[in-house]
Amino acid sequence: MARKPFDPGKARGGLFDAAQQLEPTDKPSEPAPLSVSQAAAMLKGTVMGLGKVRVEGEVSAPSKGTHCYFQLKDEDSVVGCVMWGSTLARSSVKPTQGARVVVEGIFDFYAPSGRLSLIAERMRHVGEGDLEAKFRALCDELRIRGYFDEARKRRLPMMPRGVAIITSLGGQALHDCLRTAELRCPWVPLIAVGVPVQGPGSAEVVARAIDEVNRQRERLGIDVIVVTRGGGSREDLQAFNERVVADAAHRSELPVVSAIGHEMDTSVLDLVADHRASTPTQAMMAVLPDRAELAAQLENAADRLRMQAAQLLRQRRQRLQAVATRACLKDARVMLRLPRERLTRGAMQLRQELLAQHRRTESRWAALERRLIACAPMSMLAVGRTRTHDLARRLERLGAGHIERLRVRLEGQRARLESVAPERTLARGYSITLDAQGQPVRDASTVPEGAVLTTRLQHGELRSRTEPKR
């Protein structure tokens, strides 16, 4: 129902009543005229009293700048509108020439210029309400089916073999992706898959592109799919709010990264994808590692490796120095002395054990002999004595044979020890030169001039004194 035109004669309150009170009471005729300011204030109060309104029309003559001034018109009328800069920055729908929109806001009257304007607080394209209802219904269905569950979403690979970018080949989104990849990680191959990102049939093309990249992933070496496009209205982004695209992203075996529209825009693909990015640049930053960070990590790993290698070398050097100070390495006879002493002790212990065993056996046989003499007839005693003598002789033979084997074994050990003894080396014609402290001389440069040296031969020793080199 259309609003009736304003009738000043029926207005009550405010400046109008105040003006009437200034009239003389003796003039019941027409009221005093209003000033322009009074009329403007009255008009502003009336306009502001209308509250929020929604106006549908066609955008005409939008201005460019921080604030956008435009006209909203239909076949018969024109209404001036303004969208302030803060609202313009938040709005996903911008005033564009010829666009059919629904503007929600309040009327305001600017008295200095006498201009009536609709202050636009929200704007959407005509029919966008139906798209919003369809969007919410699809989201509810997919949420019930588990399409949005975080548990099913896959992590992005740290270093992908290749990345497929599904977008418009002529759009700014592809340019942003390529620029970010060149700055961040230029050695990872990129494959751009051109698709229409809006308009009839675009959703089916995007879904087929996702499926085809999955089928060819091994041949192409692709590990991640990025689906992206620039901002736009809800109608422009409708291709990514279709069920066919959501199904393709859900059945994709490769992780899908979605970067659709502006940061404030949310599409069905954003909710189904394994990772959502606010812009194409952010999508590539999530997919590709930063080469500067990789270089820093490699440098840190190299530093740790160098430190560990230096520490290991220090430990090995200390162990080598500790081993080099052992006496056995300075004099080989020390190495031979210890085994010889162990063999000597072993032979003495073995001889003592055999003698002790022999004495114990003789004692046992003597005790048995005494028992036989005490409890057996003479014949049995003679037999027992004979057996005793036989066993004693066998025991002596066994003991002698065992001792002989031990002696041969001991002699063999002794021969092997003597074969590596320094004396055998001297017997083959070699000699050992010792300094005044009795230490072997290994390097002539370490002997000072006039030093007295002792040369040990197989038989005897020679003394000599060093002379300066000529």
Longest CA pairwise span in the chain (Å): 184
Strands 224-229 and 163-167, sheet pairing: parallel
Q: Output the pTM of the full model.
A: 0.45
Task: Print pLDDT tens along the chain (470 aa).
Answer: 445 555 555 544 444 444 444 444 455 567 788 888 888 788 888 888 888 898 988 888 899 889 999 999 888 888 999 999 998 888 878 888 878 888 999 998 888 888 889 999 988 877 655 677 788 888 888 898 898 898 888 899 888 999 999 999 988 889 999 999 888 888 889 999 999 988 888 999 999 999 999 999 999 999 999 999 987 767 778 889 899 999 999 999 999 999 988 777 788 899 999 999 988 999 999 898 877 777 777 888 888 898 898 889 888 888 888 777 766 666 666 667 777 788 888 888 888 888 888 888 888 888 887 777 676 555 566 666 788 888 888 888 888 888 888 888 888 777 777 766 666 676 666 778 888 887 887 877 788 877 888 887 767 888 888 877 66
Segment (H or E) for 260: strand 256-260
Give the span between the Cα atoms of 147 and 249, in whole angstroms. 9
Give the pLDDT of residue 439: 81
For residue 148, the SS3 value is coil
Give the pLDDT of residue 15: 43
Strands 275-276 and 256-260, sheet pairing: parallel
Give the pLDDT of residue 293: 76
Is domain 149-289 classified as CATH 1.10.4160.10?
no
Q: Which residue has the tokens 């006209």?
A: 71
For 269, residues 6+ apart whose C-beta sits below 8 A from its C-beta are: 227, 240, 241, 245, 246, 249, 256, 258, 260
Q: Tell me how crowded residue 280 is: count the other CB atoms within 10 A of its CB.
A: 27
Joined together, the tokens standing for residue 419 give 């074969």
| Distance, C-alpha 276 to centroid of its chain | 19
Please name which of 346, 342, 351 lies closest in space to residue 417, comparing C-alpha atoms: 342
Joined together, the tokens standing for residue 294 give 């990789």
Could you please state the CATH topology (level 3) that the domain comprising 8-126 is classified under: OB fold (Dihydrolipoamide Acetyltransferase, E2P) (2.40.50)
Give the span between the Cα atoms of 196 and 171, in whole angstroms. 10
Extended beta strands in 84-136, E state: 100-110, 115-125
Give the span between the Cα atoms of 38 and 44, in whole angstroms. 10
Contact 187, 227 (CB under 8 A): no
Q: For the sheet with 461-465, list strands across it.
A: 432-434, 452-456, 461-465
Give the span between the Cα atoms of 93 and 171, in whole angstroms. 19
Please name which of 285, 278, 283 lies closest in space to residue 261, comparing C-alpha atoms: 278
Contact 275, 259 (CB under 8 A): no
Joined together, the tokens standing for residue 469 give 């080199």
Contact 406, 316 (CB under 8 A): no
Joined together, the tokens standing for residue 378 give 């003479």
Give the span between the Cα atoms of 413 and 436, in whole angstroms. 34
